[in-house]
Amino acid sequence: MRLLNILVIGALILAASFVYKIKFDSTLQAERVAKLRGELRRERNAIAVLRAEWAKLDTPGRIQGLADRHLALQPVKPNQFDKLDRLPEKPSPVVPSPDRDQIGVMLAPGPDTTGSVPRTGR
């Protein structure tokens, strides 16, 4: 009988400490959730600010002002448009001249060149 009591008391203490640990962990988790929520809100607000800023920088008025100041481009005239099927055929390949310049040979891509960096340039 006494042994049983001791066992029960032991089980009680174990259970209590286990429950305490769970509670402590859950508090920590709840704090983390709250923190993450706050972070999310901050990020979301920052995104909203950046979106507004982007929209402001992207307004046609600003782009037009910048284009007028820095570019020599003109508005497109209707006669500058044409249909795709009226595009002339691709011109036949230019015959290489006998006296090829040396720089051109170096810049020409080799058979196993992959990127934009020529192999011979290394």
Partner 1 sequence: MEGRWQRLLRSLLYGHDVDRNVKAKARIGLAIVAFAGIFSIIAIRLVMFATTSEGHGGRRSITQDAVATARPDILDRNGEILATDVKTPSLFAEPRKIIDVDEAVELLTAVLPDLDANEVRERLSSKRGFVWLKREITASQQHEIHRLGIPGVGFLTENKRVYPNGPVVSHELGHVNIDNQGIAGIEKWLDGQGLAALHMAGLATDQLQRPVNLSVDLRVQFALRDELIAARDKYKAKASAGIIADVNTGEIIAMVSEPDFDPNNPREATDPNRLNRLTTGVYEMGSTFKALTLAMALDSGRVSLSSSFDARMPLRYGKFEIHDYHAQKRVLSVPEIFTFSSNIGTARMALSLGVDYHKAFLKKLGQLDRLRTELPESAEPLVPKHWGELNTVTIAFGHGLSVAPLQAVMGISALVNGGKLVPPTLLKRDQPEADRLAQRVIKPETAEKMRYLMRLNVERGTATRANVAGYYVGGKTGTSEKVVGGHYSKTKVLTSFTAILPADKPRYLLLVMLDEPQGLPETHGFATSGWNAVPVGAQVIERVAPLLDISPRFDLPKADQMLLVSAKEMR
Please pick, from the candidates 1, 4, 76, 95, the single residue that binds partner 1 as defined by CB under 8 A. 76
Total residues contacting partner 1 by CB under 8 A comes to 26
Tokens 């920088």 belong to which residue? Answer: 57
Q: Tell the smallest beta-carbon distance from residue 43 to partner 1 (Å).
A: 12
Q: Which of residues 77-106 bind partner 1 (CB under 8 A)?
A: 77-79, 81, 83
Q: Tell the smallest beta-carbon distance from residue 18 to partner 1 (Å).
A: 15
Please pick, from the candidates 17, 45, 113, 120, the single residue that binds partner 1 as defined by CB under 8 A. 45
Nearer to partner 1, 2 or 77 (CB): 77
CA–CA separation, 103 vs 85, rounded Å? Answer: 37
**DSSP H or E run through 26:** helix 2-57
CA–CA separation, 28 vs 84, rounded Å? Answer: 65
CA–CA separation, 43 vs 73, rounded Å? Answer: 39
Q: Which of 11, 27, 61, 83 is nearest to 3 (CA)?
A: 11
- Check binding of 28 to partner 1 (CB under 8 A): no
Binding segment for partner 1 (CB under 8 A), chosen from 4-12, 51-59, 89-97, 108-116, is 51-59
CA–CA separation, 106 vs 45, rounded Å? Answer: 53
* C-alpha R_g of the chain: 37
Binding site for partner 1 (CB under 8 A): 30, 33-34, 37, 41, 44-45, 48-49, 51-53, 55-56, 58-61, 64, 75-79, 81, 83
